[in-house]
Structure 1
């Protein structure tokens, strides 16, 4: 009996290998699984929930290693330059981002601004010097009068700015183009003179 049982697996293997894979037809109730020769690659990976900001792209999250709502990283290139208005509100700049500055209150980044010397842009390609028409194509924000610049100077501020979430604000100059772009949280997003 022992010898007969050991031959059964060999007989099953021989029966299975006698049919070639091209001749074998699956039974109607049999499931066939196919393993691809190469791994399947998804067409497009899902974006991260809160991606880190890109080096030269200003986003609602921040710019480079500087993030809205967080402390300035210890090894960051952002630092205080010159005299500061107070200990509670500081203005930082970075040699890596000419024409940009950040406002820090209570050791937390509250706003990042880019000015006319900056080559930083939004993901939509809008930077300083863009026309108001270009801005409104992507950001049809309500306008308010500019504090220091006559019309057509104005501010275009995201409607969600009052919510406390990070928001976007454009300054349009007297020539009808963007003079500054700000990202941050209120009330700091609305400051017109650095820390006030």
Structure 2
């Protein structure tokens, strides 16, 4: 009899285990979701590819602010200002552009009259002050050191922070003469290395 009880208890345990694994006849086979599934996140557009003819706060082509001149690049001192502490360099790949190197690192890049390089916003040398202000409102205005008004400098508000910043030199004709990106104090140099 003891043997029958053990057998009956085992049979009951197996029946209960199978019942627990089987769905009830009146229960839905798939649970009803309480909240709708989240929509997939929209795909983010890829950033535009960097162009060799676009000057950005990071630099121009392979020439990067705050870094040494890349070995094997076309940037070199070509009879311009050079000393132990400050050198100006240029590249035949970027006519009208030059850079200032201090302490072995690029501190400023300048676009001049012969340059066809532009900022990502499309602003380049020869554009009007009004065009600049459409994109860069709030820049600090300072009188030009060598030209009479309306010539001036337009400098980004963050220029004194030591971060890379932007500065425009506007000529007496109201047009962009030079565009500089760089870090203070080199960003504000008006005669090459000074």
The TM-score, its normalising length taken from structure 2, stands at: 0.77
- Asked if structure 2 preserves the Cα contact closer than 8 Å seen for 1:52 and 1:61, the reply is no
Using a 3 Å threshold, how does the CA distance of structure 1 residues 163 and 52 change in structure 2: closer, same or farther? farther
Q: Does residue 40 of structure 2 align to residue 43 of structure 1?
A: no
In the TM superposition, what whole-angstrom CA distance separates every residue of 1:91-149 from its partner, at most 9, and x where no partner exists? 00000000000000011000000011100000000000110000001112121000011
Any runs of at least 4 consecutive aligned residues in structure 1 with deviations exceeding 2 A, and if so which? 42-47, 51-54
How many angstroms does 1:87 deviate by? 1.6
**RMSD between aligned residues:** 2.2
How many angstroms does 1:86 deviate by? 1.4
Distance 1:189 1:63 in 2: 15
Which residue of the partner structure matches residue 177 of structure 1? Answer: 175
Distance 1:173 1:83 in 2: 23
Which residue of the partner structure matches residue 69 of structure 2? Answer: 72
Q: Does residue 163 of structure 2 align to residue 161 of structure 1?
A: no
The TM-score, its normalising length taken from structure 1, stands at: 0.76
Give the greater-gyration-radius structure (CA): 2
**Ranges in structure 1 where 5+ consecutive residues have no aligned partner:** 1-25, 32-39
- Asked if structure 2 preserves the Cα contact closer than 8 Å seen for 1:53 and 1:65, the reply is no
DSSP-derived class of the 2:130 partner: helix
**2:56 equivalent among 56, 59, 63:** 59
**2:124 equivalent among 122, 127, 133:** 127
Q: How does 1:82-97 map to 2 (within 5 A)?
A: 82-97=79-94
How many angstroms does 1:71 deviate by? 0.5
Using a 3 Å threshold, how does the CA distance of structure 1 residues 83 and 97 change in structure 2: closer, same or farther? closer
Using a 3 Å threshold, how does the CA distance of structure 1 residues 98 and 124 change in structure 2: closer, same or farther? same
Using a 3 Å threshold, how does the CA distance of structure 1 residues 52 and 163 change in structure 2: closer, same or farther? farther
Distance 2:100 2:145 in 1: 19
**Ranges in structure 2 where 5+ consecutive residues have no aligned partner:** 1-27, 34-39
Distance 1:85 1:79 in 2: 11
How many angstroms does 1:28 deviate by? 3.4
Distance 1:53 1:70 in 2: 18
How many angstroms does 1:30 deviate by? 7.4
- Asked if structure 1 preserves the Cα contact closer than 8 Å seen for 2:167 and 2:181, the reply is yes
- Asked if structure 1 preserves the Cα contact closer than 8 Å seen for 2:128 and 2:176, the reply is yes
How many angstroms does 1:27 deviate by? 3.2
Count the aligned residue pairs: 160
